[in-house]
Amino acid sequence: MAGRSGGRTSALSLPIDAGASAEFKPFRARTPLFTVSAGRVLVTLILPERLRAADVEFARVLAEQAATYATEVERLYRSGRPSSGKGAAV
């Protein structure tokens, strides 16, 4: 995944285990938060207070990619294939 802002790209790999979690937090007076926690790492996605069409598009793509990820994880689980525990290069 490459950065789109033209600056440096940072990468973070989170090993997921039974203690990992993902949480959506809605608020009345501000934009929502989406948090992924794994081990001692907490990643929170935040949005600007003034939302743009690009922010809506990002949220939709995030949801679509998460659904595709869940489908693949379930497929691998049901097939009984062992996981290597390492991320595959794309």
Q: What percent of the chain has pLDDT over 70?
A: 83
- Looking at residues 8-29, what average pLDDT do you find? 93
Task: Answer yes or no: is 9 within a domain.
Answer: no
Task: Answer yes or no: is 12 within a domain.
Answer: no
- Looking at residues 43-59, what average pLDDT do you find? 96
Judged against a pLDDT cut of 70, whether residue 84 lies above it is answered with no
59/70 same-domain check: yes
How many domains does the chain fold into?
2
Q: Whole-angstrom Cα distance, residue 33 to residue 45?
A: 6
Task: Answer yes or no: is 36 within a domain.
Answer: yes
Task: Answer yes or no: is 88 within a domain.
Answer: no
Judged against a pLDDT cut of 50, whether residue 15 lies above it is answered with yes
Q: Whole-angstrom Cα distance, residue 5 to residue 66?
A: 23
Q: Whole-angstrom Cα distance, residue 8 to residue 33?
A: 24
Q: Which range of residues forms the domain containing residue 41?
A: 18-48
Reported confidence tier of residue 90, pLDDT bands at 50, 70, 90: very low
Q: Which bin fits 85, alpha (ψ -120 to 50), beta or left (φ > 0)? A: left
Task: Answer yes or no: is 4 within a domain.
Answer: no
Q: Whole-angstrom Cα distance, residue 29 to residue 12?
A: 30
27/42 same-domain check: yes
Task: Answer yes or no: is 7 within a domain.
Answer: no
